Amino acid sequence: MTQTPAETGTQSVPEKSHQRSRTVLGELKEKNFWFVRLRWLVPPGIVAGIGVAKLAGGDFETIPLLWVAVFILIYNVILYPVSCRLRDESYDQTKYINRFTYCQIAFDYIAMFLLIHFTGGAASPLIFFFIFHIIFASIFLPTLSAYGFAALAAAGTILIVIAEYLGWIPHHPLIFQGRTIDIAEQPFYVMVELGFFTASLFIAVFSITAVININKRILDMGKLSETVASLDIKLKVLFKLDALFTMIQAIGSTRSLDQVLNIATNELAPIMDVCCTSVKLLSEDGKFLRYAAAHGLREESFKDKVVEVAKIPLHRRIIDGESFVTGKVTPREWFQFGGYSDATDIESVLFVPLTLEDRVIGILGAYCTRPERFSSDDVDFLRLAAGLVAIAIENARAYEEIKNLTEERSRFMLRVAHSLRAPLTAMLNILEVVLGGYRGELNDVQKDYLNRVNRRGWTMASLIDELMSLAESKSEKLRLKLASIDLKTLAKRVQRTFQDEAAKRDLSFTVTIPENLPEIQGDEEMIEQMIENLVSNAIKYTYINGQVDVTFSESNEKTILIKVKDTGIGISKSDMDRLFTEFFRAENARSIEEVGTGLGLAIVKEIVDKHGGRISVASEEGEGTVFTVHLPRAQGEKNSNE
Amino acid sequence: MATKNEILVVDDDRDILDSLRVILEGNGYEVRTAKNSREALTALQEKKPDLMLLDIMMATETEGFNLAYELQKKPEYENLPIVILTSFLGKVREEGPEKFQHILGEQWPAKWLFEKPVDTKKLLAKIEGILSKE
């Protein structure tokens, strides 16, 4: 049932071209073998030719011709086993076949020259047999070799004729019906004959090699189209990788597990060019697989579906790390895949494990209505995608865990704050009834005591408020309401809010902001609360006639600085570390203002952090303090997703 | 003041109801109280008040919102000013008002919101402001 990728896969282009060249080579060998077999007919042909020529009235020396027939027989006896061995697979080199061809032609040439010599030299009708050898050489040998053989045939024949003419070798005249056909007596005619013979050979080589070269070019074009096809495949792979990258980017934009799974299944279907995809996630104990998301499958067929791993061996194998691929799915297999019956038109299925380092967290599936859809490349690609999806799933899970913990903490704080508010409200309202004289007048001492209760009650209310606000700002659910903040307007509001209070304490209070300060991105309400907390602290802890200065400035292109400087009580070195800790109040601060929540600076820190900024503090006890807030101008994109 | 303005206070906390009644009556208003939205509806049917102070979290987290939304749908109460008093505001802020839209509808059912504990002086000033515009 499990098939190796090679069985289902289509062949790669190099494989195809290799196979094609093997076919061509095979044909070459076959032709060579055919020529060797054909040669067996030559010796009997010579004997028959002698007989026919004699009967027709020809007269020539028979014995040398029979010797030539024997010679041909002998060298063919030698060539035959070689050609048989060449047919064998192990000799699949063109080099050997060419060598064999040269060898055959060389022997044939010797035989040809002998036959021509013994049948009248220049007058021999056999010289035109060279044409066959030239055709043979032109087809099977490189063009240059074919011309070489043509030249050799022409030169050899001319040499024999000259040698006979000059008497270097004996001339064997051809006698037909009692008359000697001896063109050796006509040198001019012989020259013309040999000229035409030579020309015929070269024209034959030229024509045949030209045709062969055109054929070769057609073959080259075939190769070119194969190269283009392979480039096309490479482009497709690139496109797939690009789409995969886009998918991972999309997944990166979300932290919700459901969204990660939906994006993965929806995006993978078109990338893989399949109709359906699914993700099954393994339970923590590894016993169950739950359909977490699917694309293309009917919702009721997978939604909330849980499969027991032990019951289906196929799942067990995938979870152990194997891939599963089939090109012709059977109904029995459908049952194993989880048993949904609606997808009966699906023919090909591919499952790969969602692997994380050495751990499998689920199964990624692709389904297609075409049979034999998935190749080994598809298996590799889906495994790569599965690796990336697994990482995204794990990230989303980790993020959700952290988010849940943070939310749990915030919810708890909110519940506490809410439960504290209800009785406090009743208490303060009742107190108002008494203090307001609605139920009779009180004496001054009673009023004084109840006023103290009232004041402490309201302090408690503001403590709850600050707790709430801290819980809110820590809550991941709270989105920053990002907008452009006009710091000039904000600075004016800060000036207005605190000028009376500063005047009451005889403090010099200034807010400085340069004309062309750029806007920043942030939650205006929060930024204002942050500045207010700092300024209100500065005013509260600065002696009469002291000074509080708020300065806005631009430190570089990316950062805005907000400085709150006072000449107040300062902060001791030992208190510096815990300054931003919730509920912490410095000793000298307590001595000045008895009541305080110790939450103001914790809130400041929280807001600055949320905006991707940082806060620093410099202080000398008894001299004063400078808080410097560094806010990035454009931090919004990152934080808005939190 | 020729006729006294009447205020209906809806809250499940008896102490709050009681003290608010004293304070409001002491400032010249006629006060009726209701401990839940059912009682509030009965009181409203008896006689339409000039203003309603409404708590949100009573038997359920959104009982007050539900009542306000129901009243909004009835033309006779369309113009009834509702001031919401709640310790619940933080929760709405935290979760985002859109979470309550299925209850509240697109519009908030009340224009005025006070977070508990309420400074009664500010509340009295707000009530006076609303009623003087009527």
Residue A530 has pLDDT above 80, yes or no: yes
A426 in B contact zone (CB under 8 Å)? yes
Residues of A in contact with B26 (CB under 8 A): 436, 438
Give the one of A426, A439, A471 whose C-beta lies nearest to B13's C-beta. Answer: A426
Mean pLDDT of the B100-121 span: 67
For chains A and B, count residue pairs whose Cβ atoms are closer than 8 Å: 66
Residue B29 has pLDDT above 90, yes or no: yes
Mean pLDDT of the A612-616 span: 90
Tokens of residue A581, six digits: 């800790």
Tokens of residue B91, six digits: 């929760």
Nearest CA in chain B to A440: B26
**Cα–Cα distance for residue pair A506/A614, rounded to 1 Å:** 31
Q: Are A354 and A315 in contact (CB under 8 A)?
A: no
Q: Are B16 and B6 in contact (CB under 8 A)?
A: no
List, as ranges, residues 550-609 from A with C-beta within 8 Å of B. none
CA distance A478 to chain B (A): 6
How far is residue A427 from each of residues A423, A595, A605, measured CA to CA in Å? 6, 19, 33
Give the one of B94, B96, B117 whose C-beta lies nearest to A425's C-beta. Answer: B117
Give the one of B18, B88, B94 whose C-beta lies nearest to A475's C-beta. Answer: B94
Mean pLDDT of the A523-546 span: 87
Mean pLDDT of the A568-593 span: 78
Mean pLDDT of the B26-30 span: 94
- The pLDDT score that the predictor gives to residue A423 is 87
Mean pLDDT of the A64-79 span: 90
- The pLDDT score that the predictor gives to residue A548 is 94
pLDDT band at A17 (very low <50, low <70, confident <90, very high): low
pLDDT band at B38 (very low <50, low <70, confident <90, very high): very high
Mean pLDDT of the A495-516 span: 89
Residue A259 has pLDDT above 70, yes or no: yes
- The pLDDT score that the predictor gives to residue A7 is 37
Average pLDDT, chain A: 81
A14 — phi, psi (to 5°)? -55, -40
ipTM of the complex: 0.82
- The pLDDT score that the predictor gives to residue A3 is 40
- Cα three-residue angle A109-A112-A117, rounded to 5 degrees: 125
Mean pLDDT of the B15-27 span: 93
Residues of A in contact with B95 (CB under 8 A): 477
Residue A503 has pLDDT above 50, yes or no: yes
In this structure, the number of other CB atoms found within 10 A of the CB of residue B93 comes to 14
- The pLDDT score that the predictor gives to residue A430 is 93
Least confident of A88-92, A316-320, A548-552: A88-92
**Cα–Cα distance for residue pair A636/A484, rounded to 1 Å:** 10
Three-state DSSP state, A175: strand
Give the one of B19, B26, B117 whose C-beta lies nearest to A424's C-beta. Answer: B117
Residues of A in contact with B91 (CB under 8 A): 414, 418
Query: Between these two residues, A624 and A9, which has the higher pLDDT value?
Result: A624
Phi-psi region of A278 (alpha: psi -120 to 50; beta: other; left: phi over 0): beta
Nearest CA in chain B to A467: B90
A610 — phi, psi (to 5°)? -60, -30
A425 in B contact zone (CB under 8 Å)? yes
Q: How far apart are the first and last CA of chain B?
A: 14
Interchain CB distance below 8 Å, B94 and A424: no
Interchain CB distance below 8 Å, A418 and B117: no
Mean pLDDT of the A416-434 span: 85
- The pLDDT score that the predictor gives to residue B104 is 46
pLDDT band at A413 (very low <50, low <70, confident <90, very high): low
Residues 6 or more apart from A486 whose CB is under 8 A from it?
Answer: A519
Q: Are B92 and B76 in contact (CB under 8 A)?
A: no
In this structure, the number of other CB atoms found within 10 A of the CB of residue B74 comes to 10
Residues of A in contact with B13 (CB under 8 A): 422, 425-426
Mean pLDDT of the A12-29 span: 60
A409 in B contact zone (CB under 8 Å)? no
Q: Beta strand B51-55 with B6-10: parallel, antiparallel or unpaired?
A: parallel
- The pLDDT score that the predictor gives to residue A11 is 46
Nearest CA in chain B to A429: B19
Interchain CB distance below 8 Å, B15 and A429: yes
- The pLDDT score that the predictor gives to residue B115 is 78
SS3 sequence of A203-255 = HHHHHHHHHHHHHHHHHHHHHHHHHHHHHHHHHHHHHHHHHHHHHHHHHHCCC
pLDDT band at B48 (very low <50, low <70, confident <90, very high): very high
Mean pLDDT of the B44-48 span: 93
Give the one of B16, B23, B118 whose C-beta lies nearest to A436's C-beta. Answer: B23
Residue A298 has pLDDT above 80, yes or no: no
Give the one of B23, B90, B91 whose C-beta lies nearest to A432's C-beta. Answer: B23
- Find the helix or strand (DSSP H, E) in which A264 lies: helix A257-272
Nearest CA in chain A to B56: A422
Query: Between these two residues, A543 and A14, which has the higher pLDDT value?
Result: A543
Closest by CA to A447, choosing from A461, A436, A458, is A436
Residue B95 has pLDDT above 70, yes or no: no
Tokens of residue A411, six digits: 């919810």
Nearest CA in chain B to A476: B94
Nearest CA in chain A to B25: A438
Residue B98 has pLDDT above 70, yes or no: no
A432 in B contact zone (CB under 8 Å)? yes
Residue B94 has pLDDT above 60, yes or no: no
What global pTM score does this model have? 0.42
Largest Cα–Cα distance of chain A, in whole Å?
Answer: 173
Interchain CB distance below 8 Å, A429 and B87: no
- Identify the residue among A409, A429, A463, A464 best suited for mutation to test binding to B, counting B beta carbons within 10 A and taking the highest: A429
Q: Are A201 and A130 in contact (CB under 8 A)?
A: yes
Mean pLDDT of the A196-202 span: 87
Residue B105 has pLDDT above 60, yes or no: no
CA distance B77 to chain A (A): 28
Residue A640 has pLDDT above 60, yes or no: no
Query: Between these two residues, A90 and A612, which has the higher pLDDT value?
Result: A612
- The pLDDT score that the predictor gives to residue A161 is 85
- The pLDDT score that the predictor gives to residue A168 is 87
Residue A597 has pLDDT above 70, yes or no: no
- The pLDDT score that the predictor gives to residue B96 is 55
- The pLDDT score that the predictor gives to residue B103 is 45
In this structure, the number of other CB atoms found within 10 A of the CB of residue A329 comes to 20
Residue A271 has pLDDT above 80, yes or no: yes
Mean pLDDT of the A146-170 span: 87
Interface of B with A (CB under 8 A): 13, 15-16, 18-20, 22-23, 26, 87-88, 90-91, 93-96, 116-118, 120
Residue B17 has pLDDT above 90, yes or no: yes
Mean pLDDT of the A534-560 span: 89
- The pLDDT score that the predictor gives to residue A359 is 85
In this structure, the number of other CB atoms found within 10 A of the CB of residue A316 comes to 12
Interchain CB distance below 8 Å, B19 and A430: yes
Each residue's pLDDT tens digit, A110-147: 888 888 888 888 778 788 788 888 887 888 778 888 89
- The pLDDT score that the predictor gives to residue B4 is 85
Each residue's pLDDT tens digit, B53-87: 998 878 776 788 888 888 888 889 888 999 988 77
Give the one of A410, A421, A436 whose C-beta lies nearest to B26's C-beta. Answer: A436
Helical segments of A253-367, H only: 257-272, 299-302, 313-319, 331-337
pLDDT band at A92 (very low <50, low <70, confident <90, very high): low
**Cα–Cα distance for residue pair A638/B9, rounded to 1 Å:** 46
Percent of chain B with pLDDT over 70: 79
Residue B125 has pLDDT above 80, yes or no: yes
Q: Are A190 and A128 in contact (CB under 8 A)?
A: no
Residue A246 has pLDDT above 70, yes or no: yes
Give the one of A432, A461, A468 whose C-beta lies nearest to B120's C-beta. Answer: A432
Interchain CB distance below 8 Å, B117 and A475: no
- The pLDDT score that the predictor gives to residue A567 is 92
Each residue's pLDDT tens digit, A615-633: 999 998 888 999 999 998 8
